Amino acid sequence: MAHDLRQQVRLLLDEEVGTLHRDAPDRVALVYPSPYRVGMSSLGFQAMYREINSNPSRVAERSFLPDDPEAYRTSRTPLFTFESERPVGNYPVVALSVAYEIELAGLIEVLELSGIPPLAEDRDDSHPFILAGGPLTFSNPLPLAPYVDAVLLGEADETIHPALDIIFGTSSRDEALTALRREIPSAWIPSADGEELRELGMSSRIPATGQIITPNTELRDMFLIEGERGCSRGCQYCVMRRTTNGGMRIVPAETVLALIPDHAKRVGLVGAAISDHPKITHIVNTLADQGRQVGLSSLRPDKLKEEFVTALRRAGQSTLTTAMDGASERMRKLVDRRAKLEHLVRAAEHVRKHRFKRLKLYLILGLPGETDEDIDELIEFSTGLSKIAPLSLGIAPFVSKRRTPLDNQPFAGIKLVDKRLTRLRRGVKGRVDIRSTSSRWAWIEYVLAQGGAAEGRAVLDAVHAGGKFRDWKNAFDALPERPRAKGVLPVVG
């Protein structure tokens, strides 16, 4: 069995281009708390792999939450890294990238599969140093507190090496924590800072680029590269809005194009607001001229003009995906989106004219103040749109995030979200394809997005009880109170 698990990893490695096989004295296990196909689609994770390995005295080797954790448990195989097959628990440092709230369960699992006590209070100097970072740290990392030794908040491209210098250069965990706190303003040390977060790290080192191309990810065979970082818009619910991270930082088109390796047949252009890049049409057209396919992480509807859409089609996009944000004009105004109905109608016309397979629109359901009338407006509008082009709606229940103007807004409720989804499905009578993320898991995300260390600690109970929704609910319900987490700087305006 253990042999089979190693064999599975070797098969994945065989299909990778760009894997780094190195050895160096400072060894870091770089672990993603979701499966391989998700982790390898993360530009941030790939960029960190490249960054740590760029230092001659350091090596980063990857590991992921296994697709079948039970197989590791039953065969008593400790989680191991891909590159050298060393047990993760034998590395002096385990660095984890966490993208969103529910991955906390995966973080607990990977630590336990590595034989590392998940709670920081149960560890001593014989255990690896647990360092976390990743997109979650932009909003609310407080639930990580029970499990990690330190967190690099915000962008960690520039802080990772100074942090590792300290961790490898000190002789005990306590000494490292004290020095991290003293020397890196974005290093949050839960054992010392409690729920008082520190400042968000900002980096001038853009663009991040991927290191490995593999067919076994969500973004199959794609070379990932940042075209911009941050966003200049101000959507009220979004953690990446202009006030959190200094606005949009643009990578010149020539830089983007020069960094793409010849062997990359598919290119993923990444950025919270990549379609706002002033030269995006030029970049996509140039890549299409070179015979490459292009994927973009997000498209704003007001940017979908003829020239740009033509370029996207040339570059192999078969679905046109953008966002309509809220169910109705009133909801879109509430969240300060610039998606106008005319832009969405124009997008549907582009789909028909350029023979895309379908138009896919993302929107949020359950925003504060939403009523059945807003859903009825959505039914009417989307039914009309579906007469122009095949239409899918990708729906996410609203989850209030820290560091946004809609922080502290309530969750609409599982029953209400489901009721609205049923109303929508009935209303569109099969003419529109409706997909929604689960209202139950959205509620769990909400509790963690608004919670603190206590909610984070409850996740351990949920995981140990089996990890089903009922287990999470029981664990949260058992909390004596849900104190509103303190210390996160609100961002307004």
> Which residues ranging from 402 to 441 are in contact with ligand SF4 (CB under 6 A)?
none
* Start-end of H helices in 205-361: 253-258, 280-289, 306-314, 329-334, 341-353
Q: How far apart are CA 450 and CA 461, in angstroms?
A: 19
- The piece of 8-16, 218-226, 232-240, 304-312 that touches ligand SF4 (CB under 6 A) is 232-240
Q: How far apart are CA 417 and CA 1, in angstroms?
A: 43
Closest listed residue to residue 48, CA positions, set 12, 84, 96, 15: 96
- The piece of 102-110, 113-121, 174-182, 227-235 that touches ligand SF4 (CB under 6 A) is 227-235
Q: Which is nearer to ligand SF4, 91 or 138 (CB)?
A: 138
Q: Which of 179, 200, 240, 304 binds ligand SF4 (CB under 6 A)?
A: 240
Q: Which is nearer to ligand SF4, 169 or 278 (CB)?
A: 278
Q: Which is nearer to ligand SF4, 281 or 404 (CB)?
A: 404
- The piece of 73-81, 132-140, 159-167, 228-236 that touches ligand SF4 (CB under 6 A) is 228-236
Query: How many of the other CB atoms lie within 10 Å of CB of 387?
Result: 9
Q: Scanning the structure block, which residue is given the tokens 């990977």?
A: 110
Q: How far apart are CA 317 and CA 208, in angstroms?
A: 23
CB of 343 to ligand SF4, least distance (A): 13
Contact indicator for 252, 277 with CB cutoff of 8 Å: no
- The piece of 8-16, 196-204, 207-215, 234-242 that touches ligand SF4 (CB under 6 A) is 234-242
| Residue type, position 60, single letter | A
Q: Which is nearer to ligand SF4, 273 or 454 (CB)?
A: 273
Q: Which of 241, 266, 346, 403 binds ligand SF4 (CB under 6 A)?
A: 241
Q: Which of 233, 277, 303, 350 binds ligand SF4 (CB under 6 A)?
A: 233
Residues contacting ligand SF4: total by CB under 6 A: 9
Q: How far apart are CA 55 and CA 52, in angstroms?
A: 6
Pair type for strands 228-229 and 249-250: antiparallel
460 binds ligand SF4 (CB under 6 A): no
Contact indicator for 448, 479 with CB cutoff of 8 Å: no
Q: Quick one: CA torsion of 442, 447, 448, 453, rounded to 10 degrees?
A: -170
The helix/strand count (H/E) of the chain reads as 18, 15
- The piece of 166-174, 230-238, 342-350, 455-463 that touches ligand SF4 (CB under 6 A) is 230-238
> Which residues ranging from 251 to 280 are in contact with ligand SF4 (CB under 6 A)?
272-273
Q: Which is nearer to ligand SF4, 273 or 389 (CB)?
A: 273
87 CB-contact burial (10 Å; exposed 0-12 / middle 13-18 / buried 19+): middle
Q: Which of 79, 148, 213, 238 binds ligand SF4 (CB under 6 A)?
A: 238
- The piece of 200-208, 233-241, 398-406, 451-459 that touches ligand SF4 (CB under 6 A) is 233-241
Closest listed residue to residue 104, CA positions, set 159, 145, 138: 145
Q: How far apart are CA 262 and CA 475, in angstroms?
A: 51
Binding mask 285-324 for ligand SF4 (x = CB under 6 A): ---------------x------------------------
CB of 127 to ligand SF4, least distance (A): 38
Q: Which is nearer to ligand SF4, 170 or 232 (CB)?
A: 232
Closest listed residue to residue 304, CA positions, set 275, 341, 327, 270: 275
CB of 164 to ligand SF4, least distance (A): 30
| Residue type, position 282, single letter | H
| Residue type, position 291, single letter | G
Q: Which is nearer to ligand SF4, 191 or 437 (CB)?
A: 437
Q: Which is nearer to ligand SF4, 241 or 292 (CB)?
A: 241
Cis peptide before 207 (omega within 30 of 0): yes
Show the tokens assigned to 193: 């800072």
Residues that bind ligand SF4 (CB under 6 A): 231, 233, 235, 238, 240-241, 272-273, 300
